[in-house]
Amino acid sequence: MAVYKIVEIGDEILKEKAKPVKNINANIIKLLDNLADTLYDAKGAGLAAPQIGVSKRVIIVDTGEGLHELINPQIISAAGQETDIEGCLSIPGLIGDVTRAVTVKVKYLDRHGKEKDLTAKSMLARALQHEIDHLEGILYVDRAVNIRKLSQKE
């Protein structure tokens, strides 16, 4: 387990389409653990493997209700629309307004290779959409309006 340096905007890996995980082996388990260590160290709400330099389809999210680990996540349904503030650990000091689905259902594999699904709303749904975008090489600033410096007030 280790805290990694988070890759920042400008690095090519953040623009790449991450590769699907074929075998859930010790390396993938280690990757999940390293992502969690790095996320909690940075006090973020979510992190995708490319953000620690690994171009694989692995994300984690924790919006305050516990850790979710998702391997090969796929949004299988989405509903509603909501605009809210977003930031990203790979783009320090900035925030923007992003319109996303309010509810999503995501299909994924857990660390034991079991197929699962997760239905999420609001903050958790937003974090999942943000992290899954990272796997497609999409950053929130590609979707955001009113990108601005993070002030103490927000």
Q: What is the contact surface with Zn ion in residues (CB under 5 A)? A: 88
Q: Rounded distance, CA 75 to CA 119, Å?
A: 10
Shorter beta-carbon distance to Zn ion: residue 109 or 131: 131
Nearer to Zn ion, 86 or 109 (CB): 86
Cα atoms found within 13 Å of the Cα of residue 127, Cβ hemisphere only? 26
Give 27-61 as a DSSP string: HHHHHHHHHHHHHHHHT-SEEEGGGGT--BSEEEE
Question: Measured from the CB atom, is 35 or 88 closer to Zn ion?
Answer: 88
Choosing from 115, 131, 136, 154, the catalytic residue is: 131
Beta bridge partners of 32: none
Measured from the Cβ of residue 81, the count of other Cβ atoms closer than 10 Å reads 9
86 flagged as catalytic: no
| Between 28 and 47, CB nearer to Zn ion | 47
Position closest to Zn ion via CB: 88
Q: Any idea what the Cα angle at residue 32 is, between residues 29 and 35, rounded to 5°?
A: 150
Show which residues are catalytic: 131
